[in-house]
Amino acid sequence: MKKDLDYYAGLPYREVIEVDPAGGYVGYIPELRGCITQGETKAEILEMLEDAKKAWISTALDDGMEIPEPLREEDFSGRFNLRIPKSLHKRLAMQAKAEGVSLNQLAMYLLASGLKTAAS
């Protein structure tokens, strides 16, 4: 399949819309760095974001830039390895034992509670 404007424009990129403190809304596509637009309403932002995405992709293609594709659920296994200092490992293990949970459960809880809540 030819990876042209139509190919990339049809991919399911994640669109983020946030309230602009100055008024209106800001919309952007995280995978396409710098692909951002502003508008007065959410409906306007969705339309403008589609135009911004096509312009971003078109420019990237013209400039020979690599165009990242959207992240897919199957790209994530739910596992990752993490090296930490022995002292932190000990503290976490002791806390997990005191709370009656596994180290894995405690680490998962701590990571999840530290993430900024955002609409995905």
Q: For every one of its 120 residues, what pLDDT tens digit does the chain have, with 9 covering 90 and above? A: 789 999 999 999 999 999 999 999 999 999 999 999 999 999 999 999 999 999 999 999 999 999 999 988 777 888 888 899 999 999 999 999 999 999 999 998 898 888 765 444
| Strand pairing category for 36-39 and 16-19 | unpaired
User: Which residue ranges form the domains of the chain, and what is each CATH number?
Assistant: 5-63 (3.30.160.250), 80-114 (no CATH)
| Helical (H) or strand (E) element with 80 | none
Backbone angles phi, psi at 51, to 5 degrees: -65, -45
C-alpha 73/C-alpha 58 separation (Å) is 26
Q: Which residue has the tokens 């312009």?
A: 55
Q: Which of 35, 36, 32 is nearest to 24 (CA)?
A: 36
Model pTM greater than 0.95? no
d(CA 93, CA 29): 39
